[in-house]
Amino acid sequence: MIKSPISGASVTLAPVLAPGDVVEIACTDLIAKTGQAVGRSDGMVVYVLGPVPGERARVRIDTVKAKYAVGELVELLTRSPDRVEPFCGVFGACGGCQVQHLAYPAQLVWKRGIVENALRRLAGIEGANVGMPVGMNHPRNYRNKMALVVTPMRAAEADRATAAFGFYAARTHDIVPIETCPIVMPQLDAAIAGFWDAARDPATAGAFDGAKHVVARAGLASGESVVSVTTQNASPGLRAAGAALAAKLPGVVGIGNSFEPPSDNAVMGRKNSTVFGNSEMHEAIDGVRFRVSPASFFQVNSEMVGRIFGYLEKQIPKGRRIVDLYCGAGTFALFFAKHGASVVGIEENPHAVREAKANAVLNGVEPDTSFLNGRVEAVLRTTAGAAALAAADIVFLDPPRKGSDEATIGAIVRARVPHVWYLSCNPATLARDVAQLVAGGYRLGAVQPFDMFPHTGHIEALAALHRSDVPPLDLAAGEA
């Protein structure tokens, strides 16, 4: 809106673009969430799927909003040397990977910029010491967990299959059927074919009666995997067919039934039962052993977890006291304890806490670990939580995408914990929380991204902070 030069009244201007217009744009960036390219026409931002930064494109405008327009690619006018052919047959339809058409080295440069921009715009930190993301040598077949959507089918619809398996299409709940996925680990990719085979076989088709999701998890070190089928109620068909289904899935050591989901969109249910074999499989990362279930709070890229371990290892001499907030099943707490630290983990999910305690026994570090169950901000107000924080040399945070909260950050500041290591999968909430820590007397040192999710717009970043009156730990040279 602008002021009329005659009457002084506010006047709404018509958008400079309209649906059906065909315009040329220079693409300068990508939207992390969607993979859409960003350009401008007559000063208005235009989003379009297909181009990569550095390319010019002819675009037909489909939708016009107050501050942006969305278009459809008509023609690429120039091609960037960073463009590559996507390696997945459903790229662009499946919502799982947004940037397969961008060369992997260029993805890493782009993701570094995402972290830098978030710290600059949202935390007000110019020139943050953000390293080049640590990438994978072979950025495929890395996901150790997959959650397939299951939809019932009439037998004639898909070669007599009674169920279809796939992922959601981008920005919808439409199902894209898949028979292979080059992003998941090989044993999980083989399991997809096994699920289709089972849905076509009368002896095992009943395993998917009423199924909503199939969740599978695999161990990189062990080659084992476990599967869980989510249904509304406990499934007699799955229990009856469990052994026969397992025979069709290479490496599977257990099949479970997850039921009574808390919402229509929930992937896992409130209750779980084992219908065949074991409820957990084994994984090992840099000498730390884990027993992991399909519902475990465990990072999806085991190789990259090992790279983070290696980055942190030199700064965990024996005797350090570490508080691990949002500790999940103890992935990092166990690593810290194996390297001589005394660790208190805090986690809201009681199932994850039980797994963390069991994995501490498995690794022989039970005497050096303790785990407190409850919401992090609430536990830090208890006597045990406050005492752990007051005694800590380092606080390690690995919160969900929504980040931490003012109460938790405030408790860290008041306890004057010397060092904070914040691992985040969301640069925006990382920047927000770093700003609060800096306002509370901390300085931001090195920020090291790790490419936990190649070919997507997601990036993990580890920020090292220290109080201004203590020297930094040398995770990397330099401060911002």
Residue 333 makes CB contacts below 8 A (sequence gap 6+) with 322, 324, 327, 343, 345, 356, 360, 369, 371
Distance, CA of 114 to CA of 60 (rounded, Å)? 28
- In the annotation, is 425 catalytic? yes
Residue 439 makes CB contacts below 8 A (sequence gap 6+) with none
Residue (of 252, 304, 271) closest to 135 by Cα position: 304
Residue (of 100, 92, 96) closest to 49 by Cα position: 92
Catalytic residue, chosen from 88, 97, 327, 425, is 425
Positions annotated as catalytic residues are 425
